[in-house]
Amino acid sequence: MAASVARSQLTPLSRQITAKPSQSDQTPKCIVRFRPLNIPRRFNVTVKASINRNDEKIGGNNNKTAPALHPQSILDDDDDEEDAASKDSLNSLPRPLSSAQFSNFVSDGSRLRVAYQGVRGAYSESAAEKAYPNCEAVPCEQFDTAFEAVERWLVDRAVLPIENSLGGSIHRNYDLLLRHRLHIVGEVKFAVRHCLLANPGVKVEDLKRVLSHPQALAQCENTLTKLGLVREAVDDTAGAAKYVSFEQLKDTGAVASSSAAAIYGLNILAEDIQDDCDNVTRFLMLAREPIIPGTDRPFKTSIVFSLEEGPGVLFKALAVFALRQINLTKIESRPLRNQPLRSSDDNSGFGKYFDYLFYVDFEASMADQKAQNALRHLKEFATFLRVLGSYPIDTTIVP
């Protein structure tokens, strides 16, 4: 998923999920389409590395990669030429960039470089390619790494998830928006379509367990329960596909994208296995410099602010938008990390209370006078206010 972490280490769930869904949950809202068994050539798609021209420069000694995921430990000396070609194809995949590798990062500079979190085949990669067609997508191990890569001029942009229609907000990225000085220059909405993947020759009835990100497993609960599969959580969807492929598992499938199936040479046993078809992830496009807001098309503005404690203070803050007929599309509160608890000034009996930051999205451009007046009004009583970006609204969703 969009909130995935690109590590290959497995983190199994503590026990098998055996609870049966209620009668109303028996029928998924989406139609699951099972594909007939089709055995293609393994790794028939050759993927060229985009960032690691030299393995010793990028991730050659990545200690976070589990030994089980090294292709060298899979192929025996007497494997045929087809398996050897598969090994070469897998070795050509770019490894996720980590903070420790910044000083050795090399790019040819021929295309716009866009960082995303995850490994090849992640939904974030598809979102980056939708946001910036023909870009050089650069995988990063962590969300922090993507932010730092933009700040250090190693990449030009970053495309990172901020919320999902089913799973809610990506809190980590809200915190990173405040910690770093990047600007939101756009948004992209991407429809998540989960597939059940397995190695060539493996049928649905052969599967005993399935690997994926916890949110992806939860979003496909009805389908996976009907198939009687044990669910095991890993760090991300594409990483699950990668692990199943590298280990050549015959009793294990993965829930991931169709792109991951093509990259790692897996068969798609079933498509659209999510329980709810309205599964959309919203990504933010981040850059070092803001864009100039306009009024020629619909714009959205994202801000973060804090308030003094007191009755009706949040109501007063939100009223500055309502008074000017400005529609709010998102409000998110996060604890203020530097001072999460503050002593009360009154004698109400409550010694301490939480300090919060409020993230708000509203439908207006900063080029609009009413938006400027609203923030000027808010600044009169807000203890902190920062505009994270004013950018065009994405009205399209790629299925």
What's the pLDDT tens digit per position in 217-259? Answer: 999 999 999 999 999 999 889 999 999 999 999 999 999 999 9
Let me know: does 137 contact 128? Beta carbons within 8 Å: yes
**Is 135 in contact with 111 (CB distance < 8 Å)?**
yes
Contact 53, 106 (CB under 8 A): yes
- Cβ-proximal residues to 177 (8 Å cutoff; 6+ apart), any chain: 184, 284, 304, 359, 388
Q: Which two tokens stand for residue 246?
A: 């590298």
- Catalytically active residues are 281, 283
Segment 110-131 mean pLDDT: 93
Does the pLDDT of residue 56 top 50, yes or no? no
320-368: pLDDT as tens digits: 999 999 999 999 999 886 664 555 555 555 555 678 899 999 999 999 9
Span 72-86, mean pLDDT? Answer: 45
% of the chain with per-residue pLDDT over 90: 61
Give the mean pLDDT of 270-278.
92
Where helices occur in the chain by DSSP H, the ranges are 81-91, 123-131, 143-151, 171-179, 214-219, 221-227, 237-247, 258-264, 313-322, 369-379
pLDDT attached to residue 167:
84
Structural tokens at position 218: 């939860």
User: Among residues of the chain, what percentage have pLDDT more than 70?
Assistant: 67
* Average confidence score pLDDT of the chain: 79
At residue 91 the predicted structure's pLDDT band, cuts being 50, 70 and 90, is low
